[in-house]
A and B are shown apart, each in its own frame.
Chain A
C-alpha cells in the first residue's frame, strides 16, 4: 500500500488528540474501560495527549460520568478535542473514532 519512502506503516490507529487536563485524564481512564479488548496507545506530550487504538476506539458517556463523578454530555468533549485520527461519530451516548477501511 505505502511504497513511498518514509510513509510505510501508517497503520490503522484511530482516536482522539486532547488538550492535557482533567478531561484528557478521564478519557484515558474511560477508553480502557470502554475498549477492553484493545491495546490503547497513549502518547503524552506537554499540551496534548494522543489516545489511539488499532481500528479505533469508543468513549461512552456513562463511563465518563463514572470517572468524573458528575453528569457529562458528550459535546463537552469538544472543548478539549483539538484533533483526532481516523473518522468521528458523535452521539448522545458515545463518541467513536474509527477507520472504515481494513488496510492491513
Chain B
C-alpha cells in the first residue's frame, strides 16, 4: 500500500488548536500551567518541532527499540555475568537503578502536563511521545534489576529508593520536584528537556554505556543507549521554546531557567556518573575519565547548543569548570566514609595504580584528595577500622541537599555560604546554590534537609542508628560496606609509601 509521505500531511494533522466556545482561553490554558510569560497563542503556534515523528512511526520505532533491549537481556539471562561481576560494578548498577528508575516514571507527569497544557500543538504531540518514552524507561529499568533482587537484596532499591528518605534520594527528589514536577510547561521545557536531557543525560547514558560494554555488561550497555535514543528525540522540545521566548523578549527568563536547572542537574549527576567512571569501573576497562566525557558531551557539545539557541553560558561557568575538577572527588570521599548511609557497597577505588591514573587525569589529585585517602589507608593498615567510618551527619546544602565539602589539602576552600530568611539560617555548598534559593525563596524555604530533620524532631532521637533507619538502611536492605572488604589495602602493605 502506498503511503503519503509524512511531509504531505504532517502540518495539517498538527493544526489542532481551536477557538473555545464554552470556556475562555485562560480557563483552557491557565497561565500558571501553560505560560506565565504572556506570549501570544499565535506565537506558540509557530512552534515547529525539529525532530518530527508521527504516531505510526513512533510505535514502529519504539517496538524495534524494545525488541532490541529485551532480546539482549533474554539472550544473556543465563550467563553468570552478574555472579562474577566485580562488586564495584554491581554498586554502579544499584546506584543507577535506585536513582533513575522511578525518576523516569515521575517524568511522565511533566510530559503529560505538556501534552495537555501546552499552547503549541506540535509541542503537545511531542509531550505525548515523551510521556510514553518515560513510561517505557520506568518499566524497563524496574524489570531489569528485578531479576537481580534474588541474587542481592540491595537491588530492591531500584523500586524502594524513591519511596525512602535516604539522603541521596532527598537530593534527587528535591532536584526533580524543582525542575520538572512543579514548573509550568515552557519553564519545564527549558529545565527538563534542554538543561537536563539535552545537556547532561548524555554523559550518564552514552558515556556509562561505553564503560559498561568494556566490562562486558552488554545488557545494561544496550539498555541505556536505547533509552538515550528516546531522550535525544524528546529533548528537542526545549529548543523551539527557547527560540520563541528569546524572540518575544523573554531571554532573561529563559536564561534563568537554564542557569537554575543546569547547575542543579550537574550537582546530582556528577555523583551518579562521575563516581562510577573514575572510581568504580576497573582501571583497565575505563574508556575515558568523567572529566573527558564532560568535555566531549557538555563543555563542548552542549555549550555549542546553548549559544546556538540564543542563550549565553550560565553566569557561573567558571565555577562550574572548577566543580568538574572537584565535586565528584569530594563526594567519593564522603560516600565511601559514610558508606552505611547508602544502598550500594561503595568502592574506595584508590589503590596505587588507580591513584596514578587519577593524578594523570586530574593533576594535583594526590596532593589534595590523596591526603584524605592517606589517612584512611593509614587507619585501616593500623587496625583503626573504627576511624574509617563516618558516624555522625555532615552539614548538607539547603538547595542541592548534598554534603558541603571542597578539595582537601592546602587549597581547602570548603565553607557554608549562608543566608538568613524569615528568621532562619540556610546553608549552601556554593554561591550558585545560594543564588538559586534567592531567585525564589518562597518556593524553597519550607524544605527540610536531612540535618534539619534531626533538629525538628522528625528523627527522634537523632542517634546515628535512628538516622540510618530513617533513611531505609537496614530496613529495605543492609546499608553499604566496602565493596571489596578492604582487599585493596593489601597493595599498601607491600608498598606503604607508594602513593606519596
Contacts and interface: CB of A to CB of B under 8 A. Distances in A.
Interface in B290-312: 295-297, 299-301, 303-305, 307-309
Nearest to B54: A75
Given A5-B321, A45-B210, A83-B202, A75 B307 contact: no
A4 B299 CA distance: 11
A88 B68 contact: no
A12 B304 CA distance: 7
A82 B7 contact: no
Interface residues of A, number: 40
A76 B304 contact: no
Given A78-B61, A79-B68, A6 B206 contact: no
A47 B299 contact: no
Interface stretch (A29-37, A62-70, A96-104): A96-104
A14 B300 CA distance: 11
A81 B239 contact: no
B183 interface: no
B301 to A, nearest CB: 4
Interface string B318-338: 100100000000000000000
Interface residues of B, number: 45
B225 interface: yes
Contact of B52 (A6, A90, A99): A90
A92 B209 contact: no
Nearest to B68: A79
Contacts of A2: 303
A75 B7 contact: no
A22 interface: no
Interface string A1-27: 110111100111110010100000000
> Which 7 pairs between the two chains have the least Cβ-Cβ distance?
A75-B57, A82-B228, A85-B301, A92-B5, A47-B213, A90-B52, A82-B225
Given A46-B210, A85-B304, 19 more contacts: A4-B317, A6-B295, A10-B300, A11-B304, A17-B202, A19-B225, A46-B213, A47-B206, A47-B209, A48-B210, A76-B64, A78-B61, A80-B229, A83-B301, A86-B304, A87-B50, A87-B308, A92-B6, A103-B307
Interface of A: 1-2, 4-7, 10-14, 17, 19, 45-48, 50, 73, 75-76, 78-92, 99-101, 103
